[in-house]
């Protein structure tokens, strides 16, 4: 992570997930990284995207240690007890869609709301949130998965909008939406049989490399694990 200053601080949100745990492990091994903090619904401080007070509390506690140069949001939901990726319009359930939006769209924006003030004003910093290629409207050729697709498209818009605001006071800060590839985790497990999968470590290494090479002009963009820009 040579683009960040020596001793930089990083926070991984969703460190209990497949990709989040791998990102945290790589950051902890990165020579220039002074501190990498993992937060999740099981950590202390605890962070639950569906409870804004926990996000504000975690940001307050982490701010006591100084500025944060990299905030990597690896949270997300595709399926849960209530949420099943819809194959047809008839399966669309507004309550399940609301849960997808709370975790995949407004949750990450709440993280940015409470953590962006921890990003330094005069040093390079990055807020990266994992989106998904299926959130691309222009790339949607298959249909289905209404709630997940729409919540990731909403996440992309929220990040793009925040990137514009944040650049006014923090010209060296970047906001990125990332696509991790198809990765062998709990989230992809029911849908990935027969597909070539990245390990979480492979995907994490590729995304950290994209972050490391991203220039200020990349802020507000949607980038895949190989650095390719994905259309909205």
Ligand X SMILES: NC(=O)c1ccc[n+]([C@@H]2O[C@H](COP(=O)([O-])OP(=O)(O)OC[C@H]3O[C@@H](n4cnc5c(N)ncnc54)[C@H](OP(=O)(O)O)[C@@H]3O)[C@@H](O)[C@H]2O)c1
* 103 in contact with ligand X (CB under 6 A): yes
* 202 in contact with ligand X (CB under 6 A): no
Please count the other Cβ atoms lying within 10 Å of the Cβ belonging to residue 223.
21
Please report how close the Cβ of residue 171 comes to ligand X at its closest, in angstroms: 28
Beta carbon nearer to ligand X, 115 or 124: 115
Enclosing H/E stretch for 179: strand 173-179
* Cα radius of gyration rounded to whole Å, the chain: 17
Sign of the alpha-carbon dihedral angle for 137, 141, 143, 149: negative
Of 18, 38, 85, 220, which one interacts with ligand X (CB under 6 A)? 18
Stretch that binds ligand X, among 1-9, 11-19, 168-176, 216-224 (CB under 6 A): 11-19
Q: Give rounded-to-5 percent helix, strand, coil for the chain.
A: 45, 15, 40
**Binding positions for ligand X, 163-192, rule CB under 6 A:** 180, 182-183, 185-188
Please report how close the Cβ of residue 210 comes to ligand X at its closest, in angstroms: 14
Of 27, 30, 77, 207, which one interacts with ligand X (CB under 6 A)? 77
Beta carbon nearer to ligand X, 167 or 192: 192
Please report how close the Cβ of residue 186 comes to ligand X at its closest, in angstroms: 4
Site string for ligand X, 19-48 (x = CB under 6 A): xx-------------------xxx----xx
Please report how close the Cβ of residue 119 comes to ligand X at its closest, in angstroms: 20
Of 33, 132, 154, 210, which one interacts with ligand X (CB under 6 A)? 132
Stretch that binds ligand X, among 12-20, 89-97, 157-165, 223-231 (CB under 6 A): 12-20
Beta carbon nearer to ligand X, 50 or 228: 50
Is residue 93 classed as helix, strand or coil in its secondary structure? coil
Output phi, psi for 113, to 5 deg. -55, -45
Per CB under 6 A, residues contacting ligand X are: 14, 16-20, 40-42, 47-50, 74-78, 103, 130, 132, 180, 182-183, 185-188
């Amino acid at each position: 992570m040579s683009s960040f200053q020596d001793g930089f601080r990083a926070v991984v949100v969703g460190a209990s997930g497949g990709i989040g745990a791998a990102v945290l492990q790589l950051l902890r091994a990165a020579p220039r990284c002074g501190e990498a903090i993992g937060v999740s619904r099981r950590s202390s401080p605890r962070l639950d995207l569906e409870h804004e007070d926990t996000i504000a509390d975690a940001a307050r506690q982490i701010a006591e240690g100084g500025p944060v140069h990299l905030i990597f949001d690896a949270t997300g939901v595709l399926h849960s007890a209530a949420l099943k990726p819809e194959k047809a319009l008839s399966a669309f359930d507004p309550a399940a869609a609301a849960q997808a939006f709370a975790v995949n769209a407004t949750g990450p924006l709440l993280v940015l709301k409470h953590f962006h003030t921890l990003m330094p004003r005069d040093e390079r910093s990055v807020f990266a949130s994992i989106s998904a290629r299926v959130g691309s409207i222009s790339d949607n050729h298959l249909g289905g998965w209404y709630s997940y697709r729409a919540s990731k498209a909403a996440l992309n818009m929220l990040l793009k909008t925040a990137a514009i605001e944040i650049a006014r006071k923090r010209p060296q800060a970047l906001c990125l939406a990332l696509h991790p590839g198809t990765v062998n985790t709990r989230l992809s497990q029911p849908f990935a049989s027969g597909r070539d999968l990245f390990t979480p470590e492979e995907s994490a290494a590729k995304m950290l490399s994209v972050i490391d090479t991203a220039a200020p002009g990349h802020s507000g963009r949607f980038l895949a694990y190989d650095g390719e820009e994905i259309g909205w």
